[in-house]
Structure 1
């Protein structure tokens, strides 16, 4: 297998326990929710209503991460279309979470990350 990242990157699976050093990508047409169960943090996938016109929705995932991690979460939003992720980034910033938005120069689509509420003051 070709290794192009220092961390493992994989499509999330329903019920999977999150492991350190792994980036999880929501599968197409599924919202990804992160949930604490006792000492484990796991992934739940669901096909609920569209959020901000999307499924998967970044806001949906970030809101669940907020519940699990609160202000200790470092939230990063990168290239993408529309406003998905902007409201949850605003909530995270308001509780003191550090937030990072990709700049326009390096973005393929400067949409989600162009909203002022995603950017540093």
Structure 2
């Protein structure tokens, strides 16, 4: 079972070459009986289970998260950024509020800010 990214992590084609039997087990994924006698169930057809048959984290949110990480990295790379070690929610909020990212996100995806 994969849980880390949108990319496939398993050599499914190679496993299939070694399989003597492959069966579809519906939304669970696929099952392969290998020449060794072992049975392998590839949950989610090898895709991460948090993206399989659902968009558990909408793409609009993941774009906002990645953009926020970029803003954070750029901020921390700036001399005199003012952050200290640890988690500082208020300072993080100030950076995100001042860069315009949230306003652009909300103007595109809503809700409208008042």
TM-score band, normalised by shorter chain: under 0.3
Greater Rg, structure 1 or structure 2?
2
Structure richer in helix, relative to its length: 2
Calculate the TM-score normalised by the size of structure 2: 0.24
Structure richer in strand, relative to its length: 1
